[in-house]
Chain A
């Protein structure tokens, strides 16, 4: 056993144990670690935004380089704080409106391109898609399964008509594909969490206690 003399390793290890103690029940150690996490995370966010965004993007150009146009985003940003002055609190809607407007505007073509056009391109039955599987003649079968699966999955989410008759059959097939999709996502997520757990145990038993290499 070769215990680490580094005080930071001890702090990290004890905080990790404090979080793990939640498995037994909620306790003061867990709560301390939880509140410390939020405090430090926000402190880091302040540092990041100050050094990487506000200084180089706003204060340096405005106050050191004299680029007066930057006064506009500065004033718009300040409007966020009008929220605390009831008489002019409506002005907070201006920076929110600009931010929301731009991002939802960008999301329309970006979503259409990435999530609709590209996905349909990958689903339709074309010789290019058959060959993309690199599975010989099985490529046609896999493409047909994906094509039917996508149509049936979509029909499962179609709620404007009662799931009876043809729609009933397709939606029942659709739920099979949807559940396989959820199962695969669930399996991958569990494995990601397990690998994090292994990482923490390696840290505790290796870096901290020196029991394992």
Chain B
């Protein structure tokens, strides 16, 4: 019961997921719509609550046991609670009962998102440019045939899509474009077909109950 019932559910919902693609009948389509738009959206929201609970638990535990860098956990917890309260009671763009402005200074959740989350996210990804440059240098030092091929392609693509490429040679942008549309497509398509077969095989294994690791341990 404890393992069989969830496996039956996976099978039933898996089959529903498959047949909605094949059968265009309104009954099947309506069923699919209510599963996708109502049930699953709600379940994902509850899963998020569970995930946030786990995140807070981990950091509370870190503070309690005074583990390494425990003081920073306070920043995470406080910023999470403050932004949640502002978002839940202040509403999106300050439309809720909680006042989210002092004079012309606004601190609603959208403002926090635009001025804290977005710059931090963009800077973190921008930081990766430096690490990718360092990684490509190390790959180049490996001096294998494959690594060289990879880096030369990357270099042509990078130079070819910026104005400098056209200054070096008027043929460079069109050569970069050719690489993108011909040999790159062949390589990516080969990988994609392999990945797709892997996805289908794993999905069928889960639906048929052969792959059961998602059940976790225990009874």
A-side residues, CB < 8 A to B, are 7-9, 11-13, 15-16, 19-20, 22-23, 31-51, 53-54, 57-58, 70, 72-74, 76-78, 80-81, 83, 89-90, 93-113, 115-116, 119-120, 122-123, 133, 142, 145-154, 156-157, 174-191, 193-194, 196-197, 199-200, 203
Q: Main SS of the interface on chain B?
A: helix
Contact status A196-B129, CB under 8 Å: yes
Residues of B within 8 A of A (CB): 2-3, 5-7, 9-18, 20-22, 35-50, 52, 55, 69, 72-73, 75-84, 86-88, 91-92, 105, 109, 111-130, 132-133, 136, 146, 149-158, 161-162, 179-197, 199-200, 202-204, 206-207, 214-216, 218-219
Closest A residue by C-beta to B87: A47
Q: Give the residues in chain A near B80, CB-CB below 8 Å.
A: 38-40, 42-43
CB of B119 within 8 A of CB of A176, answer no
Residue of A nearest to B118 (CB): A12
Chain A contacts for B81, CB-based, 8 A: 43
**Interface on chain A toward B: helix, strand, loop, or mixed SS?**
helix
B204 touches A190 (CB 8 A): no
Closest chain B CB from A181 CB (angstroms): 3
Query: Which residue of A has the minimal Cβ distance to B56?
Result: A42
- Other-chain contact of A101, B9, B22, B52, B55 (Cβ < 8 Å): B9
Residues of B within 8 A of A34 (CB): 72
The answer to whether residues A200 and B42 also contact, given A7-B105, A149-B190, A193-B128 and a CB cut-off of 8 A, is no
Instruction: Report chain B residues within 8 Å CB of A123.
Output: 189
Residues of A within 8 A of B109 (CB): 43-44, 47
Contact B155 A187 (CB under 8 A): yes
On whether the beta carbons of A44 and B87 are closer than 8 Å, the reply is: yes
B114 CB, nearest partner CB in chain A, Å: 8
- Give the residue of B72, B191, B215 whose beta carbon is less than 8 angstroms from that of A31: B72
Among B16, B129, B182, which residue has its beta carbon within 8 angstroms of that of A105?
Answer: B16
Other-chain contact of B149, A100, A176, A188 (Cβ < 8 Å)? A176
Contact status B76-A38, CB under 8 Å: yes
Residue of A with least CB distance to B158: A187
Residue in contact with B83 in the complex, picked from A20, A39, A74, A187, CB distance below 8 Å: A39
- Assuming the contacts A81-B50, A102-B40, asked whether A93 and B215 have C-beta atoms less than 8 A apart, the reply is yes
Residues of A with C-beta under 8 A to B196: 111-112, 115-116, 119
Q: How far is the CA of A149 from the CA of B10 in the complex (A)?
A: 38
A76 touches B91 (CB 8 A): no
